[in-house]
Structure 1
């Protein structure tokens, strides 16, 4: 049923990954120079004017896939083994999102030398989604154990 505890965590995963697409991941400001990365693009601004922009939509695509998988897993409540498999795949996809974020952050750091940027909210949401994924998988596994033990008693 959709009223189970893991459903809340699967919805949280979906929300976190969708919000990740729109929030900034990393930002570096130095005087009039600024570099910002989101899940869609990396933008270099100088005195408020855009100097360069690079599309990094791969992050947004993976985040959307992770959100879709979590939503599909939510409605696959009758097949708990499939749910556990989808959770494992989703963990790999979310790790890919984080890996790409770190890769493009390191690349963006080279634009303005000798200054450090800071991670923004968009970076922490996939981490929260991964924790929610672990918790959801734990509850799915617990339900599967309960059903199997009830079948043994019959």
Structure 2
């Protein structure tokens, strides 16, 4: 089960999706007004920082827990798929479902980033942070796992033809 390369890739997919919940996805800084807008998988926070005291004043805070919920659901699907190693067709279907869930979570994050771009300095672009790149790594690992699952299925079918 875990010795198969696709199981390792599915495990890395789940780990990447869990990690993105705990790291910021995007931020944007306005140095003139001392404002910072940060997006995580759980909330979008608009903060004004007092330069003299370093004290932070929250201007707006919007929950974005639905990104985390979809990402964690995709992580659960990846972990469930690991244990369905004896049913490769189901694993392929779960991989497609997982790709769809990750695309939904990424789409939600990108939508909120576009909304945040309008709030502070609309002419400048914000910074994509570590959490955002976890989406990319999770999708890459999921695609690799699906490729090796399909390869195993083709190998089994070709062996059945020889019998």
Q: Report what 1:99 is aligned to.
A: 107
Equivalent residue in structure 1 for 2:127, among 102, 118, 122: 118
CA distance, structure 1, for counterparts of residue 105 and residue 134 of structure 2: 11
Count how many residue pairs are aligned between Structure 1 and Structure 2.
154
What runs of 5+ residues in structure 2 fail to find an aligned partner? Answer: 50-55
> Would you say the 8 A contact 1:59–1:100 is kept in 2?
yes
Q: CA deviation at 1:2?
A: 2.3
CA distance, structure 1, for counterparts of residue 100 and residue 11 of structure 2: 18
CA distance, structure 2, for counterparts of residue 82 and residue 126 of structure 1: 23
What runs of 5+ residues in structure 1 fail to find an aligned partner? Answer: none
CA distance, structure 2, for counterparts of residue 111 and residue 2 of structure 1: 46
Q: Report what 2:48 is aligned to.
A: 46
> Would you say the 8 A contact 2:21–2:71 is kept in 1?
yes
> Would you say the 8 A contact 1:2–1:77 is kept in 2?
no
SS in 2 for 1:98: helix
Q: CA deviation at 1:116?
A: 2.6
SS in 2 for 1:110: helix
| 2:43 matches 1:28 | no
CA RMSD of aligned residues (A): 1.0
| 2:80 matches 1:72 | yes
Q: Report what 2:71 is aligned to.
A: 63
- Structure-2-length-normalised TM-score: 0.91
CA distance, structure 1, for counterparts of residue 30 and residue 74 of structure 2: 34
